[in-house]
Amino acid sequence: MARRGAAVFVAASGAALLLGAGAVALWPSGGDATEHGRQLYLDNCAACHGAELEGQPDWRRPLPSGRLPAPPHDATGHTWHHPDRVLREIILRGTEAVVGNGYESDMPGFEGLLTEAEVEAILDYLKSEWPERERTHQQRVTAADEAAGG
């Protein structure tokens, strides 16, 4: 009986650890990791998307070039509408490569400049700045994308 109780305890502890690890992956980790993401964002993204995630003015109206200005990454933008997979692809490959069909964008790809871990840190930082409603929506979009094989 004691062995069975110990086995149940170990199994329950393992499940709790796995569930806890999953929760960490779904929500920004905070602390130093988020600060690292913020610094990476400031170094690589803020020149176009703004130091406060505000994007370029009038970002929904095309520039004379026909391209759209850099959108905000705060709750007023649409970053949180996209699953993590799409956000990673846009950061690494650039918007043109992801959208295709002749779409033109000034958003470059950072593949070879940022590691996957650095991209994740940037995404963690962005998510840490969103209100709970937007974080929850983006979490659901990501889960649906993953369930669909994305």
Question: 123 with 131: CB under 8 angstroms?
Answer: no
The residue with greater pLDDT, 29 or 4, is 29
In the chain, the domains with their CATH numbers are 29-147 (1.10.760.10)
Q: What is the pLDDT of residues 29-48, one digit of tens each?
A: 557 889 999 999 999 999 99
DSSP classification of residue 28: -
pLDDT in tens, 94-146: 999 999 999 999 999 999 999 999 999 999 999 999 999 999 999 999 999 99
- Of 1-5, 66-70, 79-83, least confident by mean pLDDT is 1-5
Residue type, 44: N
Contact (CB, 8 A) for 71 and 54: no
Q: Strand, coil or helix: what is 115?
A: coil
Residue type, 74: D
Please provide the average confidence, as pLDDT, over all residues in the chain: 85
Whether the predicted pLDDT of 2 surpasses 70: no
- End-to-end alpha carbon distance in the chain: 45
Does residue 74 contact residue 130 with C-beta atoms inside 8 Å? yes
In the prediction, which pLDDT does 34 show? Answer: 92
Q: Which of 90, 77, 96, 92 is nearest to 137 (CA)?
A: 77
Please tell me the distance from the alpha carbon of residue 90 to that of residue 51, in angstroms, as a whole number.
19
